[in-house]
Amino acid sequence: MPQIKDHAYWLERSEKLQIEGRAFIDGAYVDACNGATFWSQSPIDGKPLAAVALCAEVDVDLAVAAARRSFDAGVWADKSARDRKAVLLKWAALLEAHAEELALLESLDSGKPIGDTTGGDLPGTIYCLQWFAELVDKVHGEVPATDPQFFGTVTHQALGVVAAVVPWNYPLLMAAWKFAPALAAGNSVVLKPSEKSPLSALRIAGLALQAGIPAGVFNVVAGDGAAGRALSLHPDVDCIAFTGSGKVGREIAKNAAASNLKRVWLELGGKSANIVMADCPDIAQAARSAAAAIFSNMGQICSAGSRLLVQRSIATALIGELLEVSKGYQPGHPLDPQTVTGAIIDNAQLDRVCSYIEIGKQQAQLLSGGNRLSLADAGAYLEPTIFLAEDASARIANEEIFGPVLVVILFDTLDEAIAIANQTEYGLAAAVWSSDIKTIRTATRKLKAGTVWVNCYDELVDMNFPFGGFKESGNGRDNSAHALSKYTELKSTIIRCC
Ligand code: NAP
Ligand code: MG
């Protein structure tokens, strides 16, 4: 009889979980050079999960040196694309074989519902690795037109050492969006997960070695911002790919410029507008989608639909539906498979979100939620929260909160909605709901956002569409074949043949 994977099952599995907290450098798990550690705590109940190596500059130096040696030795970069593909597919298969364990680790470390990590984070990470593995032996160069005595090619060549610095909201998936294309292209990688969620990245490093990724090609340095800073300043890092806040992104760009002008790719924050016109084809569907757009993953999604712009004539109907469906996002225990909403990443982030709720109460009308919940001793839980802001310039309507807080703003005309949508410093995503092709065409053209959804939200965030932002939401794109070129140089080779 197949075992029922209920709350008790996951609790029992979590008791037995062996957790690796050491860094992974040059093909081996190692302590930080000075032996320093920090506790990775679970936001589910505040319990410590593992002592994790607190990597400092000296550890980063070792990881970068290992990456450089492996790159220069050609043990990965000089393998045929077909061979790299085979190894990456083997790694993906090992992730699949360990998917339950990794999903559990991710839920414990980050507070995500187990249904999300088993059904979303892990399959998404595995697919990402498979996708770039499958792509890499189909990349071709160019042969430009030349005079007959010449022959020339334009080819892609791996950059060298790529540093990936990633956040805590999708710890494995955000990491995979960087390391999968970087490794597929032949680079060696040093990954720095967030100190708030380092465990899954450390675990998969051992599986990488088992799959056949040579020592030094994939390294993981756990630690705090100092490790990320050391990577951004390192003279032997050729490229730094970052996902996180604008504040840190700016610092990384400055450090890259001040050191060796390493390539910098930034995926930053958002304050995405979800615009519902009065001729929306299905108001109930728009309300369900609007709730999912902000309350999924506890609102900790860079492209969350954190602003809901509603044409005034349908405000009563849409807000009524929204308040009803938002009741389905009350937090529960993350290891209960029935739970839709888990914990906020930690109490510091919860405090930050709650301070925005206090600001919101001064500038807008609180329609629902707004309270912390004590589901477990030191757990970090918050009710889904909805504000109605009369004034579109209110702080909560413009600054990224990164929590389950939705701000509803009413408008009269499409032009007004587009102006409000475009008024923030961000440009990650947007959506428009309408039955009119002219409205859709105007909105999709004028919205300043890297992704625009029509009559849906958050659909197809997978490998086939580039993901990234306009304006201060960053540069470059993750996912799709466009992402591979971020991790290569273009080389023009011109041969005189006679
Ligand atoms: P964060 O504070 O900017 O941290 C991101 C990463 O940078 C973490 O690994 C962090 O390490 C590290 N870091 C901190 N200080 C650093 C420094 N001085 N130099 C180099 N690295 C440093 O962001 P977060 O709070 O983890 O994540 C939330 C942000 O990420 C939000 O703004 C969200 O919108 C954005 N995000 C964007 C996307 C996208 O695709 N556009 C996707 C997901 C999230 P520690 O955590 O160990 O300090
Ligand atoms: Mg944690």
375: tokens are 């589901």
| Residue 321: strand, helix, or coil | helix
243 pocket-lining for ligand 1 (C-beta < 6 Å): yes
Say how many C-beta atoms besides its own lie within 10 A of residue 141's C-beta.
Answer: 13
Q: How far is CA 140 from the centre of its chain?
A: 29
Residue nearest (by alpha carbon) to ligand 1 atom 9 = 194
Q: Which two tokens stand for residue 292?
A: 């999912």
Residue with tokens 């690795």: 129
Q: Where does 335-464 show beta strands of DSSP type E?
A: 365-368, 372-373, 381-382, 385-389, 405-411, 429-433, 451-454
Among 20, 55, 19, CA closest to 35: 55
Q: Is the pTM of this model over 0.95?
A: yes
The CA distance from 368 to 475, in Å, is 36
Contact of 398 with 415, CB cutoff 8 Å: no
CA of 271, nearest ligand number? 1
CA of 472 to the centre of ligand 1 (A): 14
- Extended strands (E) in 141-180: 150-158, 161-165
Length of the chain counted residue by residue = 498
- 3-state SS, residue 92: helix
Q: How far is the CA of 452 from the centre of ligand 2 (A)?
A: 32
Residue 415, token pair as written in the block? 């032009």
What residue owns the CA closest to ligand 1's atom 14?
A: 225
Output the CA 66–ligand 2 centroid distance in Å.
27
Ligand 1 pocket residue status of 224, Cβ below 6 Å: yes
195 lines ligand 1 (CB under 6 A): yes
Distance CA 353, CA 347 (A): 10
pLDDT the model gives residue 379: 82
As a three-state string, the secondary structure of 173-219 is HHHHHHHHHHHHCCCEEEEECCCCCCHHHHHHHHHHHHHCCCCCCEE
What is the SS3 assignment for 422? coil
**Nearest ligand, CA of residue 252?**
1
CB of residue 302 inside a 6 A radius of ligand 1: yes
* Residue 174, ligand 1, Cβ within 6 A: yes
CA of 416 to the centre of ligand 1 (A): 32
Predicted confidence pLDDT, tens digits, the chain (498 residues): 678 899 999 999 999 999 999 999 999 999 999 999 999 999 999 999 999 999 999 999 999 999 999 999 999 999 999 999 999 999 999 999 999 999 999 999 999 999 999 999 999 999 999 999 999 999 999 999 999 999 999 999 999 999 999 999 999 999 999 999 999 999 999 999 999 999 999 999 999 999 999 999 999 999 999 999 999 999 999 999 999 999 999 999 999 999 999 999 999 999 999 999 999 999 999 999 999 999 999 999 999 999 999 999 999 999 999 999 999 999 999 999 999 999 999 999 999 999 999 999 999 999 999 999 987 777 899 999 999 999 999 999 999 999 999 999 999 999 999 999 999 999 999 999 999 999 999 999 999 999 999 999 999 888 999 999 999 999 999 999 999 999 999 999 999 998
Contact indicator for 187, 160 with CB cutoff of 8 Å: yes
Distances (CA, A) of 49 to 43, 196, 336, 430: 10, 11, 19, 37
Q: Which residue among 57, 128, 165 has the greatest number of ligand 1 atoms within 8 angstroms of its CB, and so is best to mutate?
A: 165
DSSP string of 55-81, one letter each residue: --HHHHHHHHHHHHHHHHHTTTTTS-H
Q: How much is the pLDDT for 76?
A: 98
Q: How far is the CA of 244 from the centre of ligand 1 (A)?
A: 3
Nearest protein Cα to ligand 1, atom 30: 244
**Residue 297: what pLDDT?**
98
Report whether 68 contacts 215 (CB < 8 A).
no
| Residues carrying an active site annotation | 267, 302
Element (H, E) at 265: strand 263-267
Q: What share of the chain is helix, strand, coil (3-state, %, to 5)?
A: 45, 20, 35
Q: Rounded to a whole number, what is the distance in angstroms from the first to the last CA of the chain?
A: 74
DSSP letter for 297, please.
Answer: G
Query: Domains plus CATH for the chain?
Result: 8-268 (3.40.605.10), 273-462 (3.40.309.10)
**Is the C-beta atom of 244 inside 6 A of ligand 1?**
yes
Helices (H), 296-397: 315-326, 347-363
CA 167 – ligand 1 centroid, Å: 4
Rounded to whole angstroms, the maximal C-alpha distance in the chain is 79
- Report the distance separating Cα 444 and Cα 418, nearest Å: 10
Query: Does ligand 1 lie within 6 Å of residue 269's CB atom?
Result: yes
- Residue to probe by mutation, ligand 1, list 112, 177, 302, most atoms within 8 Å of CB: 302
Q: CA-to-CA distance for 380 and 384, rounded, in angstroms?
A: 13
> From ligand 2's centre to the CA of 459, what distance in Å?
28
Q: Is the CB of 55 under 6 A from ligand 1?
A: no
Tell whether ligand 1 has an atom less than 6 A from the beta carbon of residue 267: yes
Ligand nearest, relative to CA of residue 451:
1
Per-residue pLDDT, 1: 67
Please give the pLDDT value at position 314: 98
Copy the structure tokens of residue 41: 């705590």
